[in-house]
Structure 1
Amino acid sequence: MSEVDVQAAITRAHRAEWARVVAILTRRLGDLDRAEEAAAEAFATAVERWPTDGVPPNPRAWDTALIAEGHRLVRERLAAVAAATTAGSAPGRYQILAAINAVHTSARDADDTDWSQIIALYDQLIRLDPAPIIVLNRSIAVAELDGPEVALAAVDRLAAPLSTYHAYHATRADLLRRLGRDQQARAAYDRALALSTNTAETAYLARRRDHPRATVRPDQG
């Protein structure tokens, strides 16, 4: 296959599979923005590797190839953090963030995710940068490991610095929903919707608000 054919295949894959890959990664990562970043990285890797490795034969194989690339990145990124720690030098902010994304990407779903490892990585990151958004992201992992009540207590402590951040209210809404506090959850969803500017995320939050007991996926229309 010529270089022109490879580039055409990558363009077709991006057009045909972008939404599907983002939806898969959103379910795995629990965050639309991070999913879009991961999808962009996966397609960038395809641009680098497909000309020499070959183009997967069909759209479903494209998805498989992109997820397989995520598994390879897991090993590289976690190894980089471990090597830095072993050498006595703290890993950098971007190394840790890459490792966190790698752990997410390596899991088949939320139940398969190594949340204790993610929390440990966030603890390292917070020592470098204790920004409220980072603490918020850590609380999402805490909810999976220790339960929504423990996570909600941590999230509520971030009310002042994150009062205008839509993801804060979306996170809080989901925790309240999981605790069965539907009225409070609805109010938090309403606040998140008022602050969100992402069309796909807004649609997802509205479905979750209106159907708190239903299984709602980010890629459902």
Structure 2
Amino acid sequence: MNGIDVRDVITQAHHEEWARVVAFLTRRFGDLDIAEEAAAEAFATAVQRWPADGVPPNPAAWLTTTANRKAIDRVRRENKRDDKHREAQLLYDDDPPEPLGAIDDERLRLIFTCCHPALSMEARVALTLRMVAGLSMPEIARAFLVQETAMGQRITRAKAKIKAARIPYRVPPEQDLPDRVSGVLAVLYLVFNEGYLATGPDTDPVRHDLTAEAIRLTRLIRALMPQDGEVAGLLALMLLTEARRTARVSVSGELVTLDEQDRGAWDAALIAEGHRLVRERLASGAAPGRYQILAAINAVHTSARDARDTDWSQVVALYDQLVRLAPSPIVALNRAIAVAELDGPEVALAAVDRLEDKLAGYHAYHATRAELLRRLGRSHKSRAAYDRAIELAGNTAETAYLTRRRDQLG
């Protein structure tokens, strides 16, 4: 993008405006490339001018207007005698876009555009993380456990396919929603996870802007598809996870693990809502999907008044169900963590070691091994596993926690 690094110009305070501006420009110009580049240029201009001129009274309108002008300038350069030039002239105004209704949501439109079934599932998720959530290429690559260059190529191809296929910028009609929703839910889940355990070295360890936006958009999709069990499951999963957010990082900036968190600091209202959704899905009698099972696991954790009261046999049984439904190395890793509480660290370590070929580049794999080896008294091997986990971890709070645990080995 002409040398502009979006993550360098979008500050935490204005992160939410990024997706709104991209969505607005996409609707006006019908081109994701134009939208992204114009938005990046507008934020770069803000970074240059606002420190000297001061933040404008209405930053959102300023960013939208500036980005709109940047987009028009690009259209003019590329289409001097084209119809787009005349259309762009009509769009040249300083008024911010009118707010849309609850369901006619700009970001939701953009998500459904990026999650068109013509694209592969991985391309849908990656493109939406880039265009809607404003995540950087390194952050998205880490989420997929792939190289940054490969992820960049994947996103470029996806945008080109949207342009070539003239995929419309809209929420699809009701009959088409089921074909799109799985990709949309996968996107929102990854956006939420990035917020809950941010991987950027220069970002806050927990990014409430991302978790809150993922929850907001999932609520909108639930309004569109109130009978969809996986939508309800994902919303429940997010709520039960978000309820623990304020207890997750200590005052000193270190990660606080689930068993050490102050459960009195959890958000009781979010937990109650999440539990209600889980109960509703259980009462429906329908076979649960991936997100419903994950929500049920979180319901078990948040039902325990103390970590020692956790029903680990139920957690392992739910993971067994998830392994059958949606097997993956990460699911197997999380199951092993639960097995350690039920059958001991030796049994769990054997299960974890079988995942080495698939998870060697994943920090949580090494962090889990380090903790299990620690419990078994194998300090030397535990230290080596901590070192590798620290090397791979991107979250500052998690790095601080792992470093302290390693140093306590003596």
Which range, TM-score by smaller chain? Answer: 0.5 to 0.7
Query: How far apart are the structure 1 equivalents of 2:257 and 2:398?
Result: 12
Tell me the CA shift for residue 23 of structure 1.
3.8
Tell me the CA shift for residue 68 of structure 1.
5.4
Tell me the CA shift for residue 140 of structure 1.
0.5
TM-score, normalised by the number of residues in structure 1: 0.65
Query: How far apart are the structure 2 equivalents of 1:108 and 1:28?
Result: 12
User: Out of 254, 268, 281, which is 1:67 matched to?
Assistant: 268
Give the corresponding residue for 2:332: 135
Matched, 1:165 2:362: yes
Distance 1:23 1:103, change over 3 A: farther
Give the corresponding residue for 1:155: 352
User: Out of 358, 362, 375, which is 1:178 matched to?
Assistant: 375
Tell me the CA shift for residue 193 of structure 1.
0.6
Contact 2:339 2:348 in 1 (8 A): yes
Tell me the CA shift for residue 147 of structure 1.
0.6
1:9-65 deviations in Å (ceiling 9; x for gaps) = xxxxx8xxx9742248943268xxxx9xxxxxxxxxxxxxxxxxxxxxxxx9x936x
Return the letter of the residue paired with 2:328. A
Cα RMSD, aligned residues only: 2.9
Return the letter of the residue paired with 1:179. L
Alignment of 1:43-122 (within 5 A): 63=265, 66-67=267-268, 69-71=270-272, 73-77=274-278, 79-80=279-280, 82-84=282-284, 87=285, 89-122=286-319
Larger proportion of helix: 1
Query: How far apart are the structure 2 equivalents of 1:157 and 1:19?
Result: 32
TM-score, normalised by the number of residues in structure 2: 0.37
User: Out of 138, 146, 160, which is 2:343 matched to?
Assistant: 146
Q: Specify every segment of 5 or more residues in structure 1 that has no aligned partner in the other structure, as ranges.
A: 1-13, 36-59, 214-221
Query: How far apart are the structure 2 equivalents of 1:92 and 1:29?
Result: 27
Query: How far apart are the structure 2 equivalents of 1:98 and 1:177?
Result: 30
Query: How far apart are the structure 2 equivalents of 1:164 and 1:180?
Result: 25
Matched, 1:212 2:393: no
Q: RCO higher in 1 or 2 (8 Å CA, sep ≥ 6)?
A: 1
Distance 1:123 1:204, change over 3 A: same
Alignment of 1:16-27 (within 5 A): 20-23=246-249, 26-27=256-257
Query: How far apart are the structure 1 equivalents of 2:245 and 2:287?
Result: 36
Distance 1:29 1:103, change over 3 A: farther
Distance 1:19 1:109, change over 3 A: same
- How many residues align? The count is 164
Contact 1:28 1:109 in 2 (8 A): no
Contact 1:81 1:99 in 2 (8 A): no
SS of the residue aligned with 1:130?
Answer: coil
